[in-house]
Amino acid sequence: MKILGIETSADDTGVALMEATGEFETGVICRILANAVDSQAVHAEYGGIYPNLAKREHAKNLPILLERVLGESEANADNPSIDAIAVTVGPGLEPCLWEGIEFAKKLAARLDTPIIPVNHMEGHIIVSLVRDDDANRKQKTENSDTKKEGASVRCSLFTVHFPAVVLLISGGHTELILMREFGAYEYIGRTRDDAVGEAFDKVARMLGLPYPGGPAVSALAESGRNKYQVSSIKLPRPMLDSDDYDFSFAGLKTAVLRLVKERSPLSDDMKRQFAREFEDAAADILAAKTLRAAEEYGANTVIVGGGVSANTHIRRELSSQLEARGLKLLLCPIEFSGDNALMIALAGYLHALNNEYAKPEDLRADGNLLLSKNAGFMLQ
């Protein structure tokens, strides 16, 4: 089955085409035919996302990316032989979501193709299960005689033994979820204020680093980690020992702000120490809560996805602590950790197996859409 994915939940425009066979329980094998993402650089000067500006950029980017994806996959633009279109319906910025939905509806009408509504966060979960089965992919891409094959990547999904605990960490989300099967989710912990990615961005601004702040803080922290045995900065670990699985990063961010004001102007060395201690604190909290949740709920597998899952130190801490307890850790491949349409196509394929299509007139953008214990959508 060939699925075209469309993602426009925030400031990344994504279009992807993939072909898949198999079922979630017994094994999914897929081929990524093309995966295109345009990360809107226009927001950098504002230090954040402007929804209406992002919506206009999506409108401009979607036709271009679709043409690129069909070209890379060697599909015919007039008859690309697509079995279904999967589109993000939430959560996210509603003006942006609507742009993707309307584009999907027009394309579906033109191609006489059914539509699958996809929860953006479920996409992050499913793409975190991807295993690259094409070990020679880089060599193929570099070989001038076979460059046209570079966009096609063979992959599969790791089999999950349930129950599993899922940690989703991004600019807008910090959530612990109990996953009992595909489509069955239960929130067991959420941030009470700032998401961890949002906290990274805010700390970056305090340290005079560019937007988006996560990669900048991480690079500075790693530099500090290599230079110093310990940091002279000490920050709290909010809710580390609370009797629940909720998170709070606003207090950590405020602690950074207070100390930055006390010690300003900051030298480059002091910025390194702030970045390191902040990242250490965030990683400590995430790893401790996730480990405790996995033990309480008897999970053998922990799945970690979302943009912040690309953070090197957080990946390192989660790996060392969870694997030391004998837990299987499935970390999202770094290249798919940000928002992209492949994750929407993958989740869409799994819903298509259950005939979970939607009537175009029933599609709605929901900026606060939650995962649920039964994530099925309106059927045709």
Cβ atoms of 106 and 184 closer than 8 Å: no
For range 322-334, the mean pLDDT: 95
What angle do the packed helices 196-206 and 213-227 form, to 10 degrees? 70
Q: With pLDDT > 90 as the criterion, what percentage of the chain qualifies?
A: 81
CA distance 311 to 303: 15
Does residue 256 surpass a pLDDT of 60?
yes
Q: Do domains 2-158+336-362 and 164-332 have the same CATH topology?
A: yes
Q: With pLDDT > 70 as the criterion, what percentage of the chain qualifies?
A: 90
| Model pTM score | 0.92
Domain boundaries, the chain: 2-158+336-362, 164-332
What angle do the packed helices 213-227 and 312-324 form, to 10 degrees? 70
- Give the model's pLDDT for residue 226: 87
In single-letter form, the type of residue at position 379 comes to L
pLDDT interval class at 151 (50, 70, 90): low
**From 197-201, 209-213, 310-314, 363-367, the region with the lowest mean pLDDT:** 209-213
Residue with the bigger pLDDT between 340 and 136: it is 340
- In angstroms and rounded to an integer, the radius of gyration of the C-alpha atoms of the chain is 21
CA distance 336 to 84: 21
Domain 164-332 in this protein, CATH class: alpha beta
Does residue 54 surpass a pLDDT of 60?
yes
Q: Which fold has domain 2-158+336-362?
A: Nucleotidyltransferase; domain 5 (3.30.420)
What angle do the packed helices 213-227 and 268-296 form, to 10 degrees? 100
Going by C-alpha positions, the residue among 2, 13, 6 that lies closest to residue 106 is 6
